[in-house]
A and B are shown apart, each in its own frame.
Chain A
Amino acid sequence: MNKIIKYVITDILRNRIVLVYTIFLLAASFSVFSLEDNSSKGLLSLLNIILIVVPLVSIIFSTIYMYNSAEFIELLLSQPLKRRSIWLSLFAGLASSLSIAFFIGAGIPVLIYQANMIGFTMIMTGIILSVIFAAIAFLATVKTRDKAKGIGASIMLWLYFSLLFDGLVLFILFQFADYPMEKAMIGLSALNPIDLSRILILLQLDVSAMMGYTGAVFKEFFGATNGLIFSFLILLFWIVIPVWYSTRKFNTKDL
């Protein structure tokens, strides 16, 4: 299993797109930090870039990589290897190389300018988001044989998580404006890993005051240790469930 991970990582790290992604993150983070005189503000701007770019690159790159590795998977399948370990090693290799790219691109600048709790949370959520969206991409690739359909599904999923979901939440908020929605909002935010990551970091940045009453509820919930553990657990679920389901599907897939 480790051998396959090693081959996947060396293959991906040589990939030009991952290199461009890393350089882009590096350039974005350094410029954001040097533009703002307050590094806390810089972090906020960087957060917005990360929440859009990291999921997008993770999901699209993983999907395309998996379709391009179809022959590699076929080759591995004819060898004495467990299907589960082929799939999981591919996932581990892909997720860790995306995480490495994120860490070099955004993690190092954050550590230079903001080496505190907020910085660490930001790096952690960035890495978790990379892994989550790789997992979702695996789900999309195992479901569809057709490359165009699979990539389309990935783009739709990204669009849903980063744009459509917020619209839906706003719609629900307006419809049920007369009811106390604060608790329900916590539940709703668990349905979107990007939202959850945003809340996690915003609360630590102490800008939650601007979010009004809902912000206070969030602060009360996520600010406490239990809330923090809860949100990290939810983020972990976002990794475990797609990976588990796609592994199960892959085990009975015809190639």
Chain B
Amino acid sequence: MITVENISKQFGKLKALDNISTFCDKSECIALIGPNGCGKTTLIKAILGMVIPDSGSIKFQGTDIANNWQYREMIGYMPQIGRYPDNMTIGQVLGMMKDIRNSSDALDEDLIKAFSIQNLMNKRMGTLSGGTIQKVSAALAFLFNPSVLILDEPTAGLDPVASELFKEKIIAEKDKGKLVLITSHILSDLDDLVTRIIYMQEGKLIFHKSIEELRLDTGEEKLVKSIAQVMISNYE
């Protein structure tokens, strides 16, 4: 579904992405894991076309995404820090996105209902708390039934109830055959979600394994412990 081939990206002296190649298939829930500043968000932004790689190519369902924009119709993106125009209300933001997407397919309003966003429709984005903004971001990412979901730190800031509801939603979507790309530092949240792990460090892709392989390799049952083992062995 998404093929990343030898992409590199340099920000000044910092090599944010260093010759990364990987492949993501549908019906998978892939976790991007790595220490702070290892290039996870840059990789996601490169897939979304927000950051343009210096070299290499990214293919979405076989077509190169360079200078292409239609493919984003099939992506739902939830940013790490959702930022919206301050003086628009939630209702207006949702209305605007529907207007822009102009999709004729049925909308997936599960999360709007689950998070009871419909009661907050007249609140201005500037007055919302961080957690509520996260909820709006999550609802927007799922709203148009995209076949790929890209979630950057989705559970940071959500309350436990919302976080549980959200995880159930992710599992349901993955079972429908969607690709879910997720980054998180809260590994316990990922434990029952993910099927594959991509581990990055200093802009390099260290490994891309299924969760079973990782368990076998490290001999740990819990994701937290196996990743901790990997991180410690890579820490210098």
Contact = CB atoms under 8 A, between A and B. Distances in A.
B101 A79 contact: yes
B91 interface: no
Interface stretch (A67-75, A97-105, A182-190, A234-242): A67-75
B79 A78 contact: yes
Contacts of A11: 85, 87-88
Given A79-B97, A79-B100, A80-B73, A254 B52 contact: yes
Contacts of B101: 79-80
Given A80-B73, A82-B69, A83-B69, A7 B83 contact: no
Nearest to B83: A71
Nearest to B137: A75
B185 interface: no
Contact of B45 (A70, A71, A79, A255): A255
B99 A3 contact: yes
A81 to B, nearest CB: 6
B59 interface: no
A72 B50 CA distance: 13
B50 A7 contact: no
Contacts, number: 55
B96 A7 contact: yes
A252 B97 CA distance: 24
Q: Name the prevailing secondary structure of the A interface residues.
A: helix
B209 to A, nearest CB: 28
Interface in A182-231: none
Interface residues of A, number: 22
Contacts of A74: 50, 79, 83
A81 B100 contact: yes
A172 to B, nearest CB: 40
A64 B29 CA distance: 40
A4 B100 contact: yes
Contacts of A80: 69-73, 101
Interface in A42-83: 69-72, 74-83
B51 A254 contact: yes
Contacts of A4: 100
B51 A255 contact: yes
Contact of B100 (A3, A252, A254): A3
Nearest to A76: B100
B84 interface: yes
Given A78-B77, A254-B51, A255-B45, 10 more contacts: A3-B99, A11-B88, A14-B87, A75-B84, A77-B48, A77-B50, A80-B70, A82-B69, A254-B11, A254-B45
30 contacts: A3-B100, A11-B88, A69-B85, A72-B84, A72-B85, A74-B50, A74-B79, A74-B83, A75-B83, A75-B84, A76-B100, A77-B48, A78-B77, A79-B72, A79-B97, A79-B100, A79-B101, A80-B69, A80-B71, A80-B72, A80-B73, A81-B72, A82-B69, A252-B52, A254-B45, A254-B50, A254-B51, A254-B52, A255-B45, A255-B51
Interface of A: 3-4, 7, 11, 14, 69-72, 74-83, 252, 254-255
